[in-house]
């Protein structure tokens, strides 16, 4: 009886999952797997600490399919990650085309769907791509089961980073945060690991110009800073999944000045309401 009951439950769960995917518009693609796959990953496997097997089994959830999210997604499929999920409710506009992974045929279409479809052409090691055309808050984390979350949303809705910070802590999942300054001259990458400093701990004035967290619609934007931050974030994802070395967890990059930024290690703040669990 119990077997029948479980089967019924799992059948119902599968049907509701399909229905939810259909109503949310979730779609999937897959990169091709070259017959000579070993040749594709050969050079990167020579890097100290590299673990191609681990990477090929990893699931990466990227919140935000725009500038940085697209850079990170492209790198992840080129490296041969197992599965990359994109979550974004936004649609492509003409002002995105100077720096994001879209073409003119993508205009007004959902960013997560367009970038996942495009990334399926950029990888050659069988990466599965899943697009969620919804906000990260509406993605079922227990279903996706990511090994790492990348928060690559823009500054228009500042509370999203805080929500991802809480979500990642709640599920004990490492989370990488990125942000670009409104003048497009700098930005940061921060890795929040379970038990270590959270994203809220990193919002220190001595680490980050106040403007970096500001909301600024239609702010200046260029592809150069996205390449820098995307590369750093991709490296951080590797350090989470394999033994590539890293002795920092926060890096503010300024393109214009040597007086700001560089890699540092941020410790938990004793007064952080997230880390101490005392509200906020």
Q: Whose Cβ is closer to Zn ion: residue 226's or residue 272's?
A: 272
Residues that bind Zn ion (CB under 5 A): 198, 200-201, 272, 274-275
Residue 220 burial (CB < 10 Å; 0-12/13-18/19+)?
A: exposed
Q: Smallest distance, Å, CB 85 to Zn ion?
A: 25
Residues 6 or more apart whose CB falls under 8 angstroms from that of 255 comprise 185, 186, 224, 225, 228
Q: Residue 120 has which token pair?
A: 């399926």
Contact 251, 212 (CB under 8 A): no
Contact 74, 143 (CB under 8 A): no
Nearest to 205 by CA among 277, 256, 269, 276: 269
Q: Smallest distance, Å, CB 251 to Zn ion?
A: 18
Q: Whose Cβ is closer to Zn ion: residue 102's or residue 250's?
A: 250
List, in sequence order, every residue forming a beta bridge with 176; answer none if it has no partner. Answer: 150, 191
> Which whole-number Å values give the CA distances from 85 to 53, 72, 191, 224, 230, in the listed order?
19, 11, 19, 24, 16
Contact 37, 127 (CB under 8 A): no
Q: Smallest distance, Å, CB 275 to Zn ion?
A: 3
Q: Whose Cβ is closer to Zn ion: residue 40's or residue 272's?
A: 272
Q: Smallest distance, Å, CB 193 to Zn ion?
A: 12
Q: Whose Cβ is closer to Zn ion: residue 206's or residue 218's?
A: 206
Q: Smallest distance, Å, CB 42 to Zn ion?
A: 41
Please give the Cα distance from 77 to 56 (Å, whole number).
Answer: 10
Q: Smallest distance, Å, CB 279 to Zn ion?
A: 12
Q: Whose Cβ is closer to Zn ion: residue 148's or residue 274's?
A: 274
Nearest to 114 by CA among 97, 102, 99: 102
* Nearest residue to Zn ion, scored by beta-carbon proximity: 272
Q: Whose Cβ is closer to Zn ion: residue 110's or residue 249's?
A: 249
């Amino acid at each position: 009886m119990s077997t029948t009951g479980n089967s019924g439950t799992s059948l119902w769960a599968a049907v509701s999952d399909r229905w939810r995917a259909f109503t949310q518009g979730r779609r999937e693609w897959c990169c091709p797997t070259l017959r000579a796959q070993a040749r594709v990953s050969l050079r990167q496997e020579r890097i100290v600490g590299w673990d191609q097997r681990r990477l090929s089994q990893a699931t990466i959830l990227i919140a935000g399919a725009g500038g940085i999210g697209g850079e990170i997604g492209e790198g992840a499929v080129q490296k041969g990650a197992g599965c990359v999920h994109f979550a974004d409710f936004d649609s492509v506009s003409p002002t995105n085309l100077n720096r994001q992974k879209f073409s003119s045929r993508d205009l007004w279409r959902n960013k997560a769907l367009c970038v996942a479809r495009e990334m399926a052409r950029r990888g050659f090691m069988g990466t599965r791509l899943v697009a969620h055309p919804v906000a990260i808050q509406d993605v079922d984390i227990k279903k996706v089961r990511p090994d790492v979350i990348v928060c690559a949303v823009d500054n228009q809705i500042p509370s999203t980073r805080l929500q991802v910070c809480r979500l990642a802590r709640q599920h004990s999942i490492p989370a990488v945060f990125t942000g670009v300054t409104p003048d497009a001259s700098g930005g940061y990458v921060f890795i929040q690991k379970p038990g270590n400093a959270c994203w809220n701990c990193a919002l220190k004035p001595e680490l980050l110009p106040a403007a970096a967290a500001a909301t600024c619609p239609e702010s200046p934007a260029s592809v150069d800073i996205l390449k820098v931050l995307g590369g750093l974030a991709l490296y951080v994802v590797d350090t989470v999944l394999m033994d590539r070395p890293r002795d920092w967890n926060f890096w503010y990059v300024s393109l214009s000045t040597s007086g700001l930024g560089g890699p540092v290690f941020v410790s938990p703040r004793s007064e952080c309401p997230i880390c101490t669990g005392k509200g906020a």
